[in-house]
Structure 1
Amino acid sequence: MATMNVSLPDNLKDFVQQRAKSSDYSNPSDYIRALIRADKQRAAEEKLEQALLIGLSSEPSTPVDNTFWERLNKRASKLS
């Protein structure tokens, strides 16, 4: 595991230490790692949301109905 040093003002350092002690974290590093994991998850969710919004705003394409699935099954059958 790599080490990263971060400078914090005293009030933030105290806050991190208090949160680590008052929660299920074994030390301040665990608390910071949890925050980073949560932020990473939020970033992934934002990326997905943007992709979905782009898809919703795009031009309609082939409707996914029974005809679509029948054509897809025929194409797949020819490949096997």
Structure 2
Amino acid sequence: MSTMNISLPDTLKSFVDQQVNTRGYGTSSEYVRELIRKDQDIQKLRGLLLEGAASAPTAPADETYFAGLRARVSQHAAS
């Protein structure tokens, strides 16, 4: 594991220390790693949403679509 040192103003360091103490993190590094993981998830979701928005339209998501989806899920759950 690599090490990275960061500088924070006193107000941000106090905030990080408070989060570590009240939210069950063992260290400030654990808290920062969790923030980075969440940001990675957000970036991935944003990419998927943009990819979906740029894709060609498909059949509408109407009652027939959802009935078929429910049937496929039921079949998968039964197997």
Q: TM-score, normalised by structure 2?
A: 0.69
Larger radius of gyration: 1
1:35 is matched by which residue type in structure 2? L
Aligned partners of 1:56, 1:12: CA distance in 2, in Å? 45
- How is 1:41-56 mapped onto 2 (pairs within 5 angstroms)? 41-56=41-56
Q: Which residue of 1 aligns with 2:13?
A: 13
> Offset of 1:24 from its aligned partner?
1.7
Tell me the residue number matched to 1:27.
27
Residue 37 (1) aligns with residue 14 (2): no
Cα deviation, 1:38-64, whole Å, max 9, x if unaligned, reads 00000000000000000046xx7xxxx
Count of aligned positions:
58
Identity level (%): 38
Relative to the length of structure 1, the TM-score reads: 0.68
Q: Report runs of 4+ in structure 1 exceeding 2 Å deviation.
A: none
Gaps of 5+ in 1: 61-80
Question: 1:6 & 1:40 partners in 2: Cα distance?
Answer: 19
